Chain A
């Protein structure tokens, strides 16, 4: 009886948003009398950071400090319509909608400032610190706050903007089958090293390395955290989680967290991530968004690593000790496969 090490890899090309398009996101932005801005979205921040990302995108486009932007999300009764937070679409779809809304609001903001400064709005720039001034003449300036107050109380203007981002629905050509399934692809490659015990069938993930190409990384720390958490979920899907362990037979399903297994803090593995940035032409500031692909490549990489270690090809998830032991028995013992790429 022995422990066998194995290495597996997987690559993923991951489309952002709904296949074939037709999934609009909307954003509304307005200024308040204190010169701060509220962004209204109906999509929800599930903890992935959508609120922070759209806040950054709005502040950058408006040309105001990030502290002066508040993002109000997730009231689908009162907010502008959005298809929702799924399909890894948040950064790309909502980010683009926020840019559109912020551009319109910025236009009105500069018009209001131009009226106060008695100049042409086209000659005005923002400094990102809460001021608007004439290009090349920083002394001819007005604060965003004073502009917002003048617009509301003197000029009778609403500093606001509407934004929508829609990839039109692409139908399938009946003759050729041709279609345009999506807009932005993100890419990743992940290598997993595992150790498999041929007596117990237990799999230990020893470590993982990945490279992710995500367009422009709008918030690097949050992207890194999303990738780390998503990889844990990938390990969990690969080796632990299932509501129906003998699917399609529904018997023996877990009833609580004692039976619905997930890796705990003692089961995690060292994980090294490299981020590659190739800004997407149609992304907000080039961003695409990691989303579900944080977890995706982990599953096939671990499945390949288990095969590499003991020669057992498990074709349904999760890869449980029971399936591995049945495979080893069917093969007449562990059959370690050839390995390239150096020692584990």
Chain B
């Protein structure tokens, strides 16, 4: 199939790529644009480590047709830090030892950001619900839950994305 040109915003920058009409967004990000923040885990939408925000909404890049993202604004874990200043969620993940092997971390951070962006003061149950689509093999989830709850206590002004 012939590749077609497409454009979208990636972490605040305009980007263009040539994509096969059947390519999913994860393939275009990783192979087309060398954006390795979202990980290729299961490729079936069951592990969550490829999670990205598309126009602010949480999506699985492996199940998203790239062509459907024409003109969209896409945010990955690579766009969370503001230069050398980490996002409060990233700091909280470090402080709470919420990453061990780190493979789930990009998806966990994006899922957590999607939650805090729409619900700045989530309950424990809401945090659990927000990361229920993300598999972690190492931490037992508790440190991740604690990290997200602690980042939520940081004032919204400091949490500027």
A47 near B141: Cβ-Cβ < 8 Å: no
B46: chain A residues within 8 A (beta carbon): 256-258
Stretch of A164-172, A226-234, A280-288 at the chain-chain interface: A226-234
A268 near B138: Cβ-Cβ < 8 Å: no
Q: A271 contacts the other chain (Cβ, under 8 Å)? A: yes
Contacts of A227-243 to chain B: CB distance below 8 A: 228-233
A229: chain B residues within 8 A (beta carbon): 100, 138-140, 143
Residue of A with least CB distance to B139: A229
Contacts of A25-64 to chain B: CB distance below 8 A: 46-49
Q: How large, as a class, is the contact surface on chain A?
A: 20 to 34
Q: A211 contacts the other chain (Cβ, under 8 Å)? A: no
B132 near A266: Cβ-Cβ < 8 Å: yes
B144 near A265: Cβ-Cβ < 8 Å: yes
CA gap between A229 and B47 in the complex, in Å: 18
Residue of A with least CB distance to B99: A47
Contacts of A202-241 to chain B: CB distance below 8 A: 221-222, 224-226, 228-233
B141 near A232: Cβ-Cβ < 8 Å: yes
Q: A262 contacts the other chain (Cβ, under 8 Å)? A: yes
A156: chain B residues within 8 A (beta carbon): none
CA gap between A256 and B43 in the complex, in Å: 10
B128: chain A residues within 8 A (beta carbon): 264-266
A257 near B102: Cβ-Cβ < 8 Å: no
CB contact between B142 and one of A47, A222, A268 (< 8 Å): that residue:
A268
Q: How large, as a class, is the contact surface on chain B?
A: 20 to 34
CA gap between A268 and B141 in the complex, in Å: 8
CA gap between A146 and B97 in the complex, in Å: 36
Nearest Cβ on chain A to B47's Cβ, whole angstroms:
6
CA gap between A109 and B135 in the complex, in Å: 47
Q: B4 contacts the other chain (Cβ, under 8 Å)? A: no
Nearest Cβ on chain B to A273's Cβ, whole angstroms:
11
Q: Which residues from chain A sit less than 8 Å from chain B, CB to CB?
A: 46-49, 221-222, 224-226, 228-233, 256-258, 262, 264-266, 268, 271
20 A-B pairs besides A228-B140, A232-B139, A271-B142 with CB distance below 8 A are: A47-B100, A48-B100, A225-B143, A229-B138, A229-B143, A230-B140, A231-B140, A232-B140, A232-B141, A233-B140, A256-B46, A257-B44, A257-B46, A257-B47, A264-B128, A265-B141, A265-B144, A266-B128, A266-B132, A268-B140
